[in-house]
Structure 1
Amino acid sequence: MGDEQPREPREPRGARRRRETREKLIEAAFSLMAERGLDAVTINEITEAADVGIGSFYNHFESREALQAAVIDTVFEEFADHLDRLVVAIDDPAEVIAISVRHTVLRAQHEPLWGQFLVKEGLSTRALTRGLGARLARDIQRGIAKRRFSTPDPTMSLITLGAGVLGAIAAVLETQKPDSMLQSLGLDRGSAAERAAAMLLHGLGLSFDQADVIARLPLPEI
């Protein structure tokens, strides 16, 4: 008896139901917004897809904008936090960006709905100033300060790199279609993440050889 471990306190039934309802609303909103865009989905459509009542929606979110913020936090912030923890001990900004780009493209490849959402919202002000966008801006500035990157315009570098990542994701998603022509142009899904990282690092001033070596380093797992 004395060796028994104390049990974790059980989540109260009411709290569990509230959490599950909130998760259903976020998941439904995410699916719809990935297909049509953040601002093209109504509350009625979200509650219908989640199979919950309008009243339940307002028990969790005061407006559609509040739900949008929760979806963005789920898509952009949580993943960016995971990446931050992954690269915390890495001092080279080029290696940090390569790891972040590769993991982002690979996640989109394995989770197409997540990738669709990122493509639709990735260049919005919301995305560029939070989550992945904010981390990319930070890492570009770190690289400039360390003289690792050579760019006269950090803001345009952020936009260009962001667009490059989204373009790589869109291309990878396109190759999943049976009638896609991209594979005939030489796009191999197996190497797309590394190739994207290498080209983006070259855009920040690294030589092709340097960028390619860094983009192909062993990738730490999330």
Structure 2
Amino acid sequence: MSDTVSAPPMIDPRSRAAALRRERMRDRLLDTVLDLYQPGQANGHLVIDDVIRAADVSRGSFYKYFDSLEAAVDALGERLTAGMIGDYRRLFDDDDAPLLRAVGGAAMTMLRAWHDPRWGGFTCRVDYVDYFERASSFDLMVRDALDDARRKGQMDFVSSDMAVDLIVGVTIEARRRLMRGGIAPRSYMDEMLLRIFKALDAPAVTLAAVLDTVWLRLARDGPGLAWWSVEQGVPVG
């Protein structure tokens, strides 16, 4: 038996360069979709021509990557949701108390919209909400935290669908308001989180302690996230 270790196959530099070009073009198209799906844009009836014109590419180039505008929106939704899941797991461990995970996830989505209005603008659109509802692992993570909190007596509700819809619906409107500015963000987010989870019968004393822990966690680990703005930081109460 030979002890010789086979060398890994060589990667053709031209193939690697081509793959990088394809990746950059795909990212360029998705970034263009993200820009066009912002509040205030004339995008009520966005079509592929809007994307190729803004990205300055040919129609053929678009169709090399996406079969339709809806496919591009789904791909962007997938990318943003994957990033959100990664950030959530970085901030809130599976071993954390379920109420902490639930409150932390809601706080993180609102805070990101304040830091990153482009993300907030897209994730408030019905296209993304539809994608989120039918394909999002983040939705399942929220449900798991809520159901676990209910089993442990940290919340009381009958329908998991109701609880998820309450959190998602309210935080969408919260993100829209935070993006517009003109409010004290920390006070607004604190009251929003308290009202949401009191409606799900989380004990007031426990909830106040959880909120303190969430903000400490965000202040500690948030600066390591790609979307975090040093200038924004954690809003002061």
**Which TM-score bucket, shorter chain as reference?**
0.7 to 0.9
Residue in structure 2 matched with residue 5 of structure 1 by the alignment: none
Quote the RMSD (CA, aligned, Å).
2.5
The 3-state SS of whatever aligns with 2:155 is coil
1:70-149 matched pairs, under 5 angstroms: 70-121=75-126, 124-129=129-134, 130-149=136-155
Q: 1 CA distance for matches of 2:66 and 2:193? A: 38
**Deviation (angstroms), 1:167:** 2.1
Of the three residues 167, 177, 182, the one matched with 1:171 is 177
* Structure 2 residue 36 is matched with structure 1 residue 32: yes
Matched letter for residue 216 of structure 1? D
Residue in structure 1 matched with residue 25 of structure 2 by the alignment: 21
Contact 1:121 1:127 in 2 (8 A): no
TM-score normalized by the length of structure 2 = 0.76
Contact 1:98 1:198 in 2 (8 A): no
Contact 1:109 1:169 in 2 (8 A): yes
Q: 1 CA distance for matches of 2:126 and 2:79? A: 13
Contact 1:102 1:197 in 2 (8 A): yes
| Deviation sequence 1:143-172 (CA, Å, 0-9, x none) | 223332100122111111111211221221
1:177-188 matched pairs, under 5 angstroms: 180=182, 183=183, 188=184
Contact 1:25 1:50 in 2 (8 A): yes
Q: 1 CA distance for matches of 2:131 and 2:159? A: 21
Q: Identity of counterpart residues, as a percentage?
A: 19
Contact 1:25 1:46 in 2 (8 A): yes
Residue in structure 2 matched with residue 212 of structure 1 by the alignment: 208
The 3-state SS of whatever aligns with 1:212 is helix
**Deviation (angstroms), 1:37:** 9.6
Pairs aligned (count): 204
The alpha-carbon distance between structure 1 residues 46 and 174, as it changes in their structure 2 partners (threshold 3 A), is same
Unaligned runs of 5+ in 2: 1-10, 226-237
Q: 1 CA distance for matches of 2:142 and 2:127? A: 12
Residue in structure 1 matched with residue 70 of structure 2 by the alignment: 65
**Deviation (angstroms), 1:123:** 8.0
Residue in structure 2 matched with residue 47 of structure 1 by the alignment: 52
Unaligned runs of 5+ in 1: 1-8
Residue in structure 1 matched with residue 197 of structure 2 by the alignment: 201
Matched letter for residue 92 of structure 1? A
Residue in structure 2 matched with residue 12 of structure 1 by the alignment: 16
